[in-house]
Structure 1
Amino acid sequence: MTIIRPTNDHELDDRVAEIYASDIDDQGFVAAHTRIMTINIDAYDAWENLIGAIAASMGKRRYELVTLAAALGARSTHCRLAHGKKTLSIVDEGDLVAIARDYRSAPSLSAAEITMMEFAEKVSSDASSMTDDDSSRLRGAGFTDREIVDIALAAAARNYYSRAIQALAVPVDEIDLSDELQAALLAPLNR
């Protein structure tokens, strides 16, 4: 449980109230990480602009797959659950369970998507050991320079956000997921 005290709902400025309302519209509640990260509204808005600029050129499927892999590398329960829920809008639950358990053997993923996810996981788990060989694997899978940069940016950005909310001990929200999907998303974090 975080020691950080979010602003009381009745004391919100207009911009934070707008963000809270967006969370409620999107998921039915204000996420714990939203309450904490909007304490610095300028940084929050910068984060949203950064993610928007990265994700816009990637497409939702690619962005969410990279995010799930980067969250795995960062050991982020928050992001695995939240983005598991978001991924359900573009991936069948059965396919997502397989991806969450072990994306390397998930039949619904292409070889290029697996390579992309391996890269993204490594960005969050061991970026200092990465070499041109890591990027070359993406190029060999057919990714352009722009796509390689966007994959790296999306993974690094997820790593930043995941680590910030972990460092602040932000509680993990209960996300409406099936027991099977939740278990599949979280089991790899304990390996």
Structure 2
Amino acid sequence: MTYLDTPDESPLYAADAAICGFVPNYTRVFALRPEVYQGWLQLGGAVRNGMDLRRYELVTVATARVIGSKYCGLAHAQKLQEFYDDEALSAILRDHHDAELAPVDVAIMDFASKVATDPTTITEADAETLRRFGLSDGDVFQIVLAVSLRRFFSGVLSAVGAVADQEYEKLAPEIRSAVDAFGARSSHS
């Protein structure tokens, strides 16, 4: 689950088990610092509440792909099943350019990928590309926030060797295979 010794019991476990139906490995990691987890939940909620959920999840999987986070890729692929069937979702996970997404969604995922790769390369021209699709500066900022949020959380999980929960084995093989390729693009897991 992780190379860290995590607590056998934590008040976090019951709450997340009620939401997820199991205690995620990431919750066990954050049980080492419950106050940080509570701060994470608050920040994450604020960022998610500022965006359309489907857009948030597309940004999240684009970020997970770039940084090689299989755990986050699987978790958020599962959430995207609300919006896409398995075939469409596996196409998005493999290469969003070939997934028959709306041009605005491709542009958003391209922007998220660029921010995730190296945020110092973002310029006014990148924001202008999104504005041409009708996004406001607030929308652009929300994408930056979502990517930065994912970089933090995925970075923590990768750095402590957290592995994806068994629950994600229930995802369709083509989805799991597409996410498995995330690790081939990066040294992170």
- By the TM > 0.5 criterion, same fold? yes
Q: Residue type of the partner of 2:181?
A: A
> What is the match of residue 54 of structure 2?
61
Percent identity, aligned pairs only, is 34
Q: Residue type of the partner of 1:153?
A: L
Q: Residue type of the partner of 1:86?
A: K
Once the two structures are superposed, residues 3-52 of structure 1 have per-residue CA deviations (whole angstroms, 9 ceiling, x without a partner) of 3211112xx2xxxx2x3234323433211111001321111111111111
- Measured in 2, the distance between the counterparts of 1:155 and 1:104 equals 19
Offset of residue 188 of structure 1 = 4.2
The 10-residue stretch of structure 1 (27-36 or 66-75) with the greater mean CA deviation from structure 2: 27-36
Change (3 A) 1:147 1:79: same
> What is the match of residue 24 of structure 1?
17
> What is the match of residue 151 of structure 2?
159
Structure 2 unpaired stretches of 5+: none
> What is the match of residue 7 of structure 1?
7
SS, match of residue 84 in structure 1: helix
TM value normalised by structure 2? 0.90
- Measured in 2, the distance between the counterparts of 1:3 and 1:45 equals 22
- Measured in 2, the distance between the counterparts of 1:189 and 1:143 equals 31
TM value normalised by structure 1? 0.89
- Measured in 2, the distance between the counterparts of 1:84 and 1:121 equals 16
- Aligned residue pairs, count: 183
Structure 1 unpaired stretches of 5+: none
SS, match of residue 114 in structure 2: helix
Q: Residue type of the partner of 1:105?
A: D
SS, match of residue 95 in structure 2: helix
Root-mean-square deviation over aligned CA pairs: 1.6
- Measured in 2, the distance between the counterparts of 1:137 and 1:124 equals 17
Once the two structures are superposed, residues 126-157 of structure 1 have per-residue CA deviations (whole angstroms, 9 ceiling, x without a partner) of 22222222212111221111111001100110
SS, match of residue 140 in structure 2: helix
Contact 2:69 2:182 survives alignment (8 Å): no
SS, match of residue 3 in structure 2: coil
Q: Residue type of the partner of 2:66?
A: G
Structure 1 residue 133 corresponds to structure 2 residue 125? yes
